[in-house]
Structure 1
């Protein structure tokens, strides 16, 4: 997913873009009626039952080779289930207005959850094996291969519940968090926002906040505020319910803070996340406050309103970029860095692995879904021919390349923590931006491009840390009782005012704009991963620029992506001389943004 897409999802693009691709999911299944779906689920169900019968309460007595065979079978069954859930998620994301897709998505969630209850014992029992016994079993090379997966499992040992409780929580998720998330998705996808006589989707209305005409931006902001206001109680109920649900889970599992589970999942220490958050907050003034004060002057305004934040600069027409040209821009930027990396993203274009055409009911924003190693990733985005859309394409294809390269690690170890998952995407975006900037000779166009990059970086770093602070405050306050919708809005305005600075005034309806951010619902505390990834890539790109042997750097970079989830951030960054546990690391990344603002100031 792409952080800066949250606020900018235009709808409708001229025919000059050419035919926009729509993905072909046949590499997963041929359609809802494909008989392979039922056959695969039945096979997985039978295999899971046999697996439970064979291995439950017997792991301690297995040899290393026997335990390796069990892990391999667990991985095989899990990947089979991953194919079905991936297909359901992609269908639903492409058109959530289709009731058949919603029904299929829910049916798959319930069926797969039920099958997984037969597998649940395995990871719980693995964690209960004494450290010395597990280490002895890992002397077998077949089990040693899975050492990173076993290492990461044991991070959750202090927070593990009894097998019965874990099974109950897994089964109830389909009527708990998953159900509330689906309600949010279907509500926002079905919303219509009237703006200047047009009946728009929510994402299309939000896109109007970057319209060249200030009156249009204001009308869109007011209309979005009114639309969110009609659903304010529902969104507040969803937020309160999920925050309380998380609090109950956190208390049972003894997580010290509301963000601790996410940090464990990201295989990053609480202190590292706090160092990142503190570094960004301490840089609000030299980054966002300074930039937006300049932007107000460029726009000829004493103060900016919230609807001016994404306004194009005067004279910036942001010409339409047809899809074929966007493809060449991104492929060329990747190829100049490393032809092998370009070869990883070319099939996305050639084999219909991208869905770029905007339409009602389609998920807003963008993502790259890894699906399963036996297949390949798929990219979803809403392309409208802007430079920003080209950056989004480069970003998501970075994810796609990363997912393809890491697939060789297998289903259990190909996935990366969120903090590292953003590395390849943001790096790919930076490659494309630098390629376009270097090719641009007109000083005015370069200024527009530089300003656009700064705004993207502020959205990715400052805005996401502000989102993170919003979540921290909401979850902390929810622990003393339910929050009224007005109070959630107050917290939102507090963090926005602090992060964006004195250049802004905020109209009353802006207090409702927290409610459209899907990350708060689907993945609490996900958002700081964007800032982590952006600052990491800024530091990494600085090393690349300073490198005397750029071919060697490209080789080390590609090897880093191939590692998937087998290495932690310290191990991955060590070959580049970087360490995210040092406060200076974050300042190095933030200095890159400050340097761009310095250029604009000059």
Structure 2
């Protein structure tokens, strides 16, 4: 059980205050306390249940009839729920304060035990994948309740060509806690402990606070923040290079043993998406760089009265922006109003997040950066983490993460194994929630300047979500290809990073000395290789989906809730078919990119 990654940090937050009463998590729906008797009880149950499962089923799956196989799947699902509940609790507590050694130890100890206890289960997917296709088809035809799990089986059996021997798979399972998981933790704790000295600040700032200054109206503060980031990243660049070298090499070794054709194959399989669909997305976005990011940033340079933009101007507020602090109550009402206007049901599902301690919004020492929504397990409910600073973009972050939460609540009805949505579709409800909120604000704009500000902010968010993430994907592809040829020095990785920056951002930019190290703080490269294209996939999909909604398609809301409720029980082709959309159509992505281009057209027209 792993925690989700924060969404891309475009507008990081500093310290809370003056935003009203910010909610905090109440984790008691998982466990009352770390030393609650239920924690020990569930750990003991998990140990016994895993051993019993292996004793009852290892070497026997091929002999089970349909009813017996269904009973086996239900037992496996129950184990998944208990393990997920334990690790969700441990992980969420840790993310509240990653610098608290007790919380770190609690999570590490639980991770060690859960890994040990679940090692006997490794046989299950391996043995299941050895079942003959005709035999499995017969079992599914004999029991409708078992057939419901076919999407789970299909995803599992997609790994058939790449699985190793039972003994090797068990070894890799056991070894994971001192492999990738250990390097991930080193990265997280290093990042959480970084401090940055800036002029005018009484105390050193953490990463979140320093990144936040890149959106400050004062250009001198933005420059100081960018240079402080570069100085500290450079100081630790050997460590970050070692983390990336090690993880990329470990992945290469695993992929080679599994005979994976490309470093990206595992991600595509996990996402249940065809490589050619991802390639079509990537190619469409790269081809659109000139009409999207290149064109927008030239406009922004003009608005700012600059011949050239520096990297610290990329997310700067526009000169016509009036600095605005949005209180928590206003943020909540804005998002909930947008949700309710789309469908009352959507607001009803979202309401408990505010009322029952399902959101942790304030910025606190040691708290993990960014934002996420974690589904925990299908028998409890999701939790949303924010770092709320009262900026307009923070309202969009709330809309985004709350969209995830609504999606996770609806998908939970599928049960533990079928509720998990592939990353490519997991961003659908979150980005759609952002779009609903944006459109509501845009419709309420009173002046041309207000409309321009909103449009520019949305375009920047879309560029960050689509253009930047595909550029990140290209960087990862280059990084893993280069590492396969040998050890990479920090300068090697820096050069790979810079090779994609000018291409994606365009000719309006100059790049300060030190910017070449900014790959170092992106958590997705460390935690989940090639994850980043899911953001672009989700944004493009939602843009096309929203166009269908805007056309007044009858029954759209009902179809939309059906799609979210499906969780991981259907392929993206099945989910999009009711809307007349098909992500495998090469022209599909152009629809979404055209929406961004249309916003830039409107901004250009405002110049006349």
Say which is worse superposed, 101-110 or 525-534, in terms of deviation. 101-110
Aligned residue in 1 for 2:568: 565
User: 2:7, 2:372 within 8 Å by CA — same for their partners in 1?
Assistant: no
- Matches of 2:260 and 2:136, distance apart in 1: 25
Q: Which residue of 2 aligns with 1:281?
A: 286
Q: Contact (CA 8 Å) 2:362, 2:387: kept in 1 or not?
A: yes
Distance across 2 between alignment mates of 1:3 and 1:273: 22
**Partner Cα separation in structure 2 for residue 382 and residue 545 of structure 1:** 32
Q: Give the counterpart of 2:596 among 593, 596, 599.
A: 593
Alignment-derived partner of residue 332 in structure 2 = 327
Structure 1 equivalent of residue 243 of structure 2: 238
Q: Secondary structure at the match of 1:505?
A: coil
Q: Extract unaligned runs of 5+ from structure 2.
A: none
Give the drift of 1:71: 0.4
> Which residue number in structure 2 is paired with residue 116 of structure 1?
118
Structure 2: how far apart are the matches of 1:60 and 1:4?
Answer: 42
Task: Name the CA distance, whole Å, in 2 between partners of 1:5 and 1:391.
Answer: 13
Residue-by-residue CA offset, 1:337-384 (whole Å, 9 max, x unaligned): 011111111100000100000012111110000000110000001001
Q: Which residue of 2 aligns with 1:181?
A: 184
Change (3 A) 1:49 1:3: closer
Counterpart of 2:260 in 1: which secondary structure?
Answer: coil
Question: What's 1:365 paired with?
Answer: 370
How far 1:142 moved relative to its partner?
2.6
Q: What is the CA RMSD across the aligned residues, in angstroms?
A: 1.0
- In the aligned structure 1, how far is the partner of 2:88 from the partner of 2:101? 18
1:207-226 deviations in whole A, cap 9, x for unaligned?
A: 10111011000000000101
CA distance in 2, matches of 1:399, 1:116: 28
- SS of residue paired to 1:352: coil
Equivalent positions of 1:8-23 (< 5 A) are: 8-15=11-18, 17-23=19-25
Q: Provide runs of 4+ in structure 1 moved above 3 Å.
A: 1-5
Note closer, same or farther for the CA distance 1:3–1:118 as it changes in structure 2 (3 Å cut): closer
Partner of 1:171: 174
Q: What does 1:418-497 align with in structure 2 at a 5 Å threshold?
A: 418-497=423-502
SS of the equivalent of 1:194 reads: coil
1:89 pairs with 2:91:
yes
Report if the CA contact (8 A) 2:6-2:369 is conserved.
no
Which residue, 350, 354, 357 being the options, matches 1:349? 354
Match of 1:377 in 2: 382
Aligned to 1:304: 309
Structure 2: how far apart are the matches of 1:249 and 1:520?
Answer: 17
CA contact (8 A) 2:267 2:530 kept: yes
Verify the 8 A CA contact 1:2 1:392 in the aligned structure 2. Answer: no
2-structure distance, mates of 1:573, 1:344: 23
Does 2:56 correspond to 1:51? no
Shift of 1:196: 1.5
Alpha-carbon distance in 2 for matches of 1:458, 1:4: 14
Q: 1:101 to 1:288 in 2, by over 3 A?
A: same
Superposed displacement of residue 80, structure 1: 0.4
Alpha-carbon shift at residue 252 of structure 1 (Å): 0.8
1:577 to 565, 580, 584: 580
Residue by residue over 1:188-223, the C-alpha shift from the partner in whole angstroms, topping out at 9 and shown as x without a partner, is: 001111111421001110110111011000000000
Aligned position for 1:397:
402
Does residue 201 of the first structure (1) align with residue 203 of the second (2)? no
Q: Secondary structure at the match of 2:208?
A: helix
**Equivalent residues of 2:13, 2:208 under 8 A apart:** yes
Give how far 1:230 is off. 1.2
For the pair 1:151 / 2:154, whether they are aligned, the reply is yes
Q: Secondary structure at the match of 2:507?
A: coil
Taking the aligned partners of 1:437 and 1:182, their CA distance within structure 2 comes to 41
- Looking at structure 1, the residues matched to 226 and 43 of structure 2 have their Cα atoms a distance apart, in angstroms, of 46
- How far off is 1:88 after superposition? 1.0
In structure 1, distance between residues paired with 2:101 and 2:6: 29
Choose the corresponding residue for 1:102, options 95, 101, 104. Answer: 104
The answer for unaligned runs of 5 or more in structure 1 is none
The one-character-per-residue Cα deviations of 1:467-508 (angstroms, maximum 9, x if unpaired) are: 000000000000010110011111111111110011000011
Aligned counterparts, 1:523-562, within 5 A: 523-549=528-554, 552-562=555-565
Matching residue within 194, 212, 226 for 1:191:
194
SS of the residue aligned with 1:368?
A: strand
What SS does structure 2 have at the residue aligned with 1:310?
coil
Aligned mates of 1:573, 1:93 — CA distance in 2: 35
Asked whether the equivalents of residues 226 and 509 of structure 1 are also in contact (C-alpha less than 8 Å), the reply is: yes
Contact kept? 1:236, 1:484, Cα under 8 Å: yes
The answer to whether the 8 Å contact 2:475/2:500 transfers is yes
Residues 414 and 564, structure 1, Cα contact 8 Å, conserved in 2: yes
TM-score by length of 2: 0.97
Whether contact under 8 Å (1:44, 1:81) holds in the other structure is: yes
Deviation at 1:585, TM superposition (A): 0.3
Contact 2:90–2:110, Cα closer than 8 Å, also in 1: yes
Q: Is the 8 A contact 1:24 1:353 kept in 2?
A: yes
Aligned residue number for residue 125 of structure 1: 127
- The answer for the alignment partner of 1:35 in structure 2 is 37
Conservation of the 8 A alpha-carbon contact between 2:77 and 2:417: yes
Contact 1:573 / 1:579 at 8 angstroms: preserved in 2?
A: yes
CA pair 156-366 structure 1, distance change in 2 beyond 3 A: same
Q: Is the 8 A contact 1:48 1:77 kept in 2?
A: yes
Q: Displacement of 1:4 after TM fit?
A: 6.5
